[in-house]
Amino acid sequence: MNFDLIVIGSGPGGYVAAIRASQLGMNVAVVEKENLGGICLNWGCIPTKALLKSAQVYEYASHAAEYGVVATDVKPDFEKMISRSRGVADAMSKGIQFLFKKNKITVIEGFGKLKDNHTVTVSAADGAQTDYTAKHIILATGARSRELPNLKQDGVKVIGYRQALTLPKQPASMVVVGSGAIGSEFAYFYNAIGTKVTLVEYMPNIVPLEDEEVSKTLERAFKKAGITVKTQASVESVDTSGELCKVTIQTKKGTEEVEAEVVLSAVGITPNLEGIGIEELGIELEKGKVKVDEFYRTNVEGVCAIGDIVPGPALAHAASAEGIVCVEKIAGLDPQPVNYKNIPGCTYTTPEVSSVGMSEKAAVEAGYEIKVGKFPFTASGKATAAGNRDGFVKLIFDAKYGELLGAHMVGGNVTEMIAELVVARNLETTGHELIKSIHPHPTMSEAIMEAAAAAYGEAIHI
């Protein structure tokens, strides 16, 4: 065998799995057809956050007078924002190169395909093919922007997230289809720098996986910022023959037409399963994804799969956790399976959104008698001082045992606050234990303690 482990794909699932395997003494190779770090580092999580930071800085500068600062002739430089975003992505990709070198991981450039359960055929850019063998193979090929039949992407007028990160010029108008994390973040960014944005969502609420109160709060913030939000609506067709796209939208009130320079399709992702040897090896699929056990083993001995190509949330941090569990099991350790009920979700709009566990509606439907505590940031000294009082912290407890069933937040910096509640749930912390855990003042995070207190009728500041 050439290697103990070959990982196909170097995204947050693949590169983390490779590094952990190397730490455990394995001889590891990673096959990557494009950039180290995968979609997340190069075309997703990281460059989008760079753009969102640019938008936030522009918004701060535009409202500098409210903070006693004089700033004149403030305007966005779209090309420089895009350039900075690409620079941030490149720096992070180089960081993965350093980590691979540090951990003595072999990088094989090209497209990897399973030849058998211990062999990967790698096709290089020049067409040359080379076989590499390993005791174990992990598929971590990720996903791409999903295309709808009536919303075909041409990369110019109808685009996916990759083109949205590298547009040559700022569009005057844009229709964003889908209000999950990707759609909402791009809607916020482009609107913040002056593009006229229409956000179309098929479900009754934007960010539809979030608690309903959170969704409604974000929708109000979007509308206040000037975004046109259409829920319970669907794009029926897009006519790209003219200078502007003519977007036909079916809404609750009937059919209407919206014109825009660009249409961004953000309706989800499609796993990258084509051409990697799945069918030839008889690897079992389930609902379009690779079927695996709790340690990410497929039905074919020696072949595992992690990340966006397996069932579960398509999140970078979930893929990383899966990769670690997978290689630790391969190495003969006894890892705990990933707890999919305790994976946080974050949306980096303004205001931010974060959550973990059950929504209030889901907890009631599951038969729990619940206590709900909510603390608004209007009552937070830190939020008031920061000039951003939108949002709240909402905690849901099992009334019988005090277990924290779910946490839902919308507001400034809440994506940095959610980890406390992930740990609390992991440690089976009760509501009263949260109340008695002294939080520093003034901070945004003390709203967690206050929300827990509110659930038990002990809130001091509301």
Q: Which two tokens stand for residue 323?
A: 């990769």
Q: Which two tokens stand for residue 443?
A: 């901070």
CA distances from 303 to 198, 313, 383 (A): 44, 21, 49
Measured CA to CA, the distance from residue 80 to residue 186 in angstroms comes to 17
- Rounded (10°) CA dihedral 174, 178, 179, 184: -40
Q: Is 49 annotated as a binding residue?
A: yes
In this structure, the number of other CB atoms found within 10 A of the CB of residue 299 comes to: 13
Q: Which two tokens stand for residue 154?
A: 């041409």
Cβ proximity of 181 and 189 under 8 Å: no
Q: What is the DSSP letter of 157?
A: S
Q: Is 182 annotated as a binding residue?
A: yes
SS3 call for 156:
coil
Q: Is 439 a catalytic residue?
A: no
Q: Is 183 annotated as a binding residue?
A: yes
Q: Is 62 annotated as a binding residue?
A: no
In degrees and rounded to multiples of 5, residue 115 shows phi and psi of -95, -45
195 by Cβ neighbours in 10 Å (0-12 / 13-18 / 19+) ranks as buried
Instruction: Answer left, alpha or beta for residue 206, where phi above 0 means left and psi between -120 and 50 means alpha.
Output: beta
Cβ proximity of 375 and 392 under 8 Å: yes
SS3 call for 361:
helix
Measured CA to CA, the distance from residue 168 to residue 166 in angstroms comes to 6
Cβ proximity of 175 and 263 under 8 Å: yes
Element spanning 252, H or E:
none
Strand 129-139 vs strand 245-251: parallel, antiparallel, or unpaired?
unpaired
Q: Choosing from 118, 408, 441, 461, which is the catalytic residue?
A: 441
Helices 181-192 and 45-62, interaxial angle, to 10°?
Answer: 30
Q: Is 354 annotated as a binding residue?
A: no
Q: Is 178 annotated as a binding residue?
A: yes
Cβ proximity of 417 and 383 under 8 Å: no
Q: Is 185 annotated as a binding residue?
A: yes
- Known binding residues for NAD(+): 178-185, 201, 268
- Known binding residues: 49, 112, 178-185, 201, 268, 308
Kindly list the catalytic residues. 441
- Known binding residues for FAD: 49, 112, 308
